[in-house]
Structures are given as C-alpha cells and as structure tokens.
Amino acid sequence: MQTLAVFNPHPNVGKTTVCANLGHALALAGHPLTLIDFDPTGDLSTSLGLFRPPSQGIDQVLLEQATLEAVSISTRDEVHLIPAGKQLSEIAEGAVAGMGKGMLLQRLLSAVSSDQEFLIIDCPSNADLLVANILLAVDRVLIPLLGDQEGSDSLPHILQTIEKFSKARGRPLDYQFVMNRIPVRRRLTGVAASKFSGLAPGHFCKSVICQSEQLVEAQKMGRTIFEFRANSRSASDFTQLASELMQRGI
C-alpha cells in the first residue's frame, strides 16, 4: 500500500477537492483505496456526500479506542472513507496526551487492510500537530498549488517544511506539486507550469487542474466530478493526474 498526503498549509488551495476527485479517479481505474478525512472540519466527508459524518473516525484510532477497519466506511466502489470524528479538533489542539509523539500514526497505518492499494490523507490547513503526524508517516506528499502570485509566494515556505520533515524522518519525503485553478481560456497551463516548475525542478506534475465551477458545484452536492459531469474537462484533468501519478508510482 502506498500512502499519500494531500498537503498545503494554506486553506482553499484545493486539498479536499483533489483528495475526493483524485481518489475517485484512482478507484475508477480499478485501484481500491482508503481516504482519511484528517481535517476536523470534516470537509472531505461532506464532499463525498456524508453531510452528517459519523462521530467516530480517525480520532478514535489516534486515541487507540478503535481500529482503522472499525471506523472505515464504504462510500463508492473501491473507495473507503475514514471520517474525522468529533474529537479530532481536541486532538489537533494538543488537548489529548500522547499525540506529540509523531510516530503513532505511522504505526497505525501499517495496520490498514492489505487489499487497499492506496491510502490518501486530506490534511487540515491549520493544525500543526496533526500535520506533523501525517508528514512523518506517509510515503509521499501531493501539494496543490494555486497558479497565481499567492501560490508562488507560498512555495519557499512549503519547501522548507518538506525539508524539515525529511530531516526529522531520517528519509526523504517525496513531494510533487500539482497546479490548481488554472484558467482554461487563457491557455495558461503551459506558461504557468513552466514558470513555476523552475522554482522546484522535477517536482511539478505535468497534469494541471483547471479552474471550473463544476468542481465547486459537485463538491457542494457531495458528489465527485465523475458523478456530476463525467465528460467534463475537470473529470479528464483528474483522470490524467491519476494516470500520471500511477505511472510515477504515486
């Protein structure tokens, strides 16, 4: 099983959108996977149509009160979801003892059922303790990055974070950026990609995710783009991203 965190410390850059739609694209390509909603807001769960997510999820697993299997829900063919759970916000605030030890999650993830090919984690935006646990545990990180000034300004700090965790792990943290919300009309995809890729050569996906209101609509309705508009540009963006990541070894 390969583990991937969808990470960016900034909110609203598309982490949850990427998790839900990349996850479904991989599942539709025949790869069973588990998604973990690691954000106390529960956004991934609602994006997948669970408007009242169960009160128990990854929180109980972190507290060693439940196994991953016990809190895992089947949401689509080949897509399992582990919701955040009510206590995740307390854990994020450091109100629960024991979670400072960053290796706990790594140990827990090794218990995921072996029929799952991928485990993809939707990171929270402002929860250092949770993010530390995640970045110490996963094989790789996928970083959605906005193709604007804000995106390029945020890049040095993100690279520092990756470097910091690579050191803490004692083994490099593989990372890949994927550009999100690229305007389609202006045919900016190539320009934006080349401008940004110089900032971290070799670490940008060729695939980009274009700006699309259909992604917003789908998310609001609790559906993935494959359920909302299977023949859209956005659906093909995510299919391409999934196949690029699979070729690379996620």
Ligand X SMILES: Nc1ncnc2c1ncn2[C@@H]1O[C@H](COP(=O)(O)OP(=O)(O)O)[C@@H](O)[C@H]1O
Candidates 37, 43, 59, 78; binder of Mg ion (CB under 5 A) is 43
CB of 185 to Mg ion, least distance (A): 26
Alpha carbons 208 and 192: distance in angstroms, whole number: 10
**Residue 46 binding partner per list ligand X, Mg ion, none, with a CB distance cut-off of 5 to 8 Å that depends on partner kind:** none
Q: Where are the alpha helices (DSSP H) in 95-232?
A: 104-109, 128-137, 149-169, 189-197, 213-220, 225-228
Q: Determine which residue in the list 3, 15, 72, 205 makes contact with Mg ion, applying CB under 5 A.
A: 15
List the interface residues with Mg ion, window 16-35 (CB under 5 A): 16
207 binds, among ligand X, Mg ion, none (CB under 5 to 8 A by kind): none
Question: Footprint of ligand X on residues 127-166 (CB under 6 A)?
Answer: none
46 is a contact residue toward ligand X (CB under 6 A): no
Cα maximum dimension of the chain: 51
Distance CA 179, CA 13 (A): 9
Check if the beta carbon of residue 122 is closer than 8 Å to that of residue 16.
Answer: yes
Task: Considering only residues 13 through 32, tell me which ones interact with ligand X, judged by CB under 6 A.
Answer: 13-17
Tokens of 186: 């202006």
At residue 210, φ and ψ (nearest 5 deg) are -80, 160
Q: Counting contacts by CB under 5 A, is residue 181 touching Mg ion?
A: no
- Which one-letter DSSP state was computed for residue 57? S
Q: Does 59 bind Mg ion (CB under 5 A)?
A: no
End-to-end CA distance of the chain: 10
5 CB burial (10 A radius; 0-12, 13-18, 19+) = buried
Residue 6 to residue 16: CA distance in whole angstroms: 8
Q: Is 215 in the site for ligand X (CB under 6 A)?
A: yes
Q: In what order do the strands lie in the sheet with 174-182?
A: 73-76, 79-82, 33-37, 118-122, 2-6, 140-146, 174-182, 209-210
Read off the DSSP letter of residue 75: E
By the rule CB under 6 A, 11 interacts with ligand X: yes
Can residue 42 be called a binding residue for ligand X (CB under 6 A)? no
By CB under 6 A, residue 125 contacts ligand X = yes
Find the binder of ligand X among 145, 209, 235, 242 (CB under 6 A).
209
Residues 162 to 181 in contact with ligand X, rule: CB under 6 A: 180-181
Measured from the CB of residue 102, what is the shortest distance to Mg ion in angstroms? 21
Q: Does 212 bind ligand X (CB under 6 A)?
A: yes
Instruction: Kindly list the residues in this chain that would bind ligand X in the complex (CB under 6 A).
Output: 11-17, 43, 125, 180-181, 209, 211-212, 215-216, 219
Instruction: Kindly list the residues in this chain that would bind Mg ion in the complex (CB under 5 A).
Output: 15-16, 43
